[in-house]
Amino acid sequence: MDAQKYLWEGAIPLQIHLHESQVTALPPPPPALILAPRIGYLPLLAPLIKPYFSSTLPPGVDTIWFDYNGLPLKWYIPTGVLFDLLCPEPERPWNITVHFRGYPGNVLIPCEGEDYVKWSFINSLKEAAYIMNGNCKNVMNMSQSDQLELWNSVLNGNLEAYQRVSSKLKLATVDEYTSLCSPKSQQSLGETDLTAQLKTGRVPVRLYLLSVREDFDDLDEVHPIDSWEKISYINRPVEIRKEDKCFSLHDALKTLLPELFSDESLTDVKLSGVDFEDAVRKPNEDVSSDKVMEDQGQNAYKQPEAGHVSSSAEIKLIRIQGIEPKLEIPFSWVANNLINPDHFLHICVYVKVAQ
């Protein structure tokens, strides 16, 4: 089965509690139980959530926002990514709190309705298009009806409609850029070599890195994150060179976090729980994602030594779309199959740093 289909059907069960400051009548209303699409955004759930609480809300204008353990949730990050990032040990249902007043404008950028989410999505898509194609004309020149259809497909979780419109955008897939049908004839100021630039493609990536200072063996020992300061956000494309036939996820992460990943540590180490031979076997194209995704579930992939560069930092977890992929997976597969509708690959990394 197509990996994207799995993704689009993925959802996070939410148990949404109304913040006590918003409760005007006792007893407080019971929490709302809502299944939130992984690829969606929290404010879009407003129409589903409001009916549960409308009778108890104080009068006035509603501006919805959410928090998890007191941490205001950034609404422009897809729901699935927020869950993967903030719940190291997945909590099901995920208990979050909803507010309709007191929007924390000093921390969160404004979101006064669906349009804000839509435009954040479109701007991200433009950025992804720029990264992949070298310009965002295709997104900027979308007809009104196409744009509407694209957005609605995301709203409604309709993959077929989404693929119908997005195929018109002609966004390059990774195999296309490594085989380079449209060579770039122009050069950036400061790039060393025009020919080197001709042979690279860029993949849009947003990486969220959580540094944890405490020692932990199990994920549920990690203290809840109380501040966004603990999360570093890297919005930087990964470059793939044409001659890199076996460019793996590990290689990609190495370009983004060079100090955390190193070649030596990976090849020397016997990966716990996984036979090294097995890990290198590439997924069969025909069987495609199905088998690979089954493998993810079976092999709890721990690589405590793989991330060692110095004694000060150690990678504990890498999560994409709720799965922990093997680092040997070809990055092209990850880039084509695990992307969000905004065409970005959102990657969560947990790192333990020395006290």
Binding site for other proteins (CB under 8 A): 74, 105-110, 115, 119, 122-123, 126-127, 130-131, 134, 136, 140, 184-191, 194, 204, 209, 228-229, 232-237, 257-260, 313
Helix (H, G, I), strand (E, B) or coil at 18: strand
Question: In this structure, what DSSP letter does residue 320 have?
Answer: B
Q: Smallest gap, in angstroms, from Cβ of residue 109 to other proteins? A: 4
Give CA–CA dist 22/28, Å, rounded: 9
Q: β-pairing, 94-99 with 32-37?
A: unpaired
> Nearer Cβ to other proteins, position 126 or 250?
126
Q: 344 near 124, Cβ under 8 Å?
A: yes
**CB 114 to other proteins: min, Å:** 13
Q: Which two tokens stand for residue 182?
A: 């449209």
Which residue's CB is nearer to other proteins, number 17 or number 250?
Answer: 250
Closest to other proteins by CB, 260 or 329: 260
Nearest CB to other proteins, comparing residues 323 and 339: 339
- Report how far residue 269's alpha carbon sits from residue 306's, in angstroms, rounded to the nearest whole number: 7
CB of 2 to other proteins, least distance (A): 28
Other CB atoms within 10 A of residue 238 CB = 26
CB of 235 to other proteins, least distance (A): 7
Q: How far apart are CA 179 and CA 194, in angstroms?
A: 17
Which residues make Cβ contacts (< 8 Å) with residue 111, sequence separation at least 6? 43, 63, 64, 65, 75, 76, 117
Q: How far is the CB of 250 from other proteins (least distance, A)?
A: 18
Classify 272 as helix, strand or coil.
strand
**Rounded-to-integer distance, Cα 196 and Cα 200, Å:** 7
Question: Which of 264, 145, 127 is closest to 205 using CA atoms?
Answer: 127
Nearer to other proteins (CB atom), residue 185 or residue 298: 185
DSSP class of 224: P
Q: How far is the CB of 232 from other proteins (least distance, A)?
A: 5
Q: Do 8 and 157 contact (CB within 8 A), yes or no?
A: yes
Provide, rounded to whole angstroms, the least separation between the CB of residue 316 and other proteins.
16
DSSP per-residue codes, 46-82: HHHHHHHHTTTSPSS----EEEETTEE--TTS-HHHH
Give the residue with the Cβ less far from other proteins, 13 or 110.
110
Cβ distance to other proteins smaller for residue 53 or 121: 121
How far is 157 from 9, CA to CA, in rounded Å? 8
CB of 294 to other proteins, least distance (A): 34
> Whose Cβ is closer to other proteins: residue 183's or residue 297's?
183
Choice between 34 and 86, CB closer to other proteins? 86
CB of 122 to other proteins, least distance (A): 7
